[in-house]
């Protein structure tokens, strides 16, 4: 499956992905669109990916690292 998180404030266009939801970073409030390949979209997987994304974004804040505009999500 192809799944990504795209920063809403970026110029990245989520064309070709089915929107599965939005995740807001607890550290800075930045919002990310979670998108799946429409042929394999799965809400249960999207919820797990949102939890994973939350951990990744928190780690980036701990290391003073800027969030990427696009983050590949695990299956």
pTM: 0.92
Is residue 25's pLDDT more than 90? yes
Q: What is the pLDDT of residues 44-66, one digit of tens each?
A: 999 999 999 999 999 999 999 99
Mean pLDDT for 27-46 is 96
- Write a three-state SS string for the chain: CCEEEEECCCCCCCCCCEEEEEEECCCCCCEEEEEECHHHCCHHHHHHHHHHHHHHHHHHHHCCCCCCCEEECCC
């Amino acid at each position: 499956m192809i799944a990504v998180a795209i920063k809403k404030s970026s110029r990245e266009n989520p064309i070709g992905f089915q929107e599965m939801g939005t995740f807001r970073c607890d550290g800075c409030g930045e919002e990310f669109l979670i998108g799946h390949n429409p042929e394999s979209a799965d809400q249960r997987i999207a919820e797990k990916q949102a939890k994973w994304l939350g951990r990744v974004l928190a780690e980036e804040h701990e290391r003073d690292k800027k969030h990427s505009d696009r983050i590949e999500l695990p299956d």
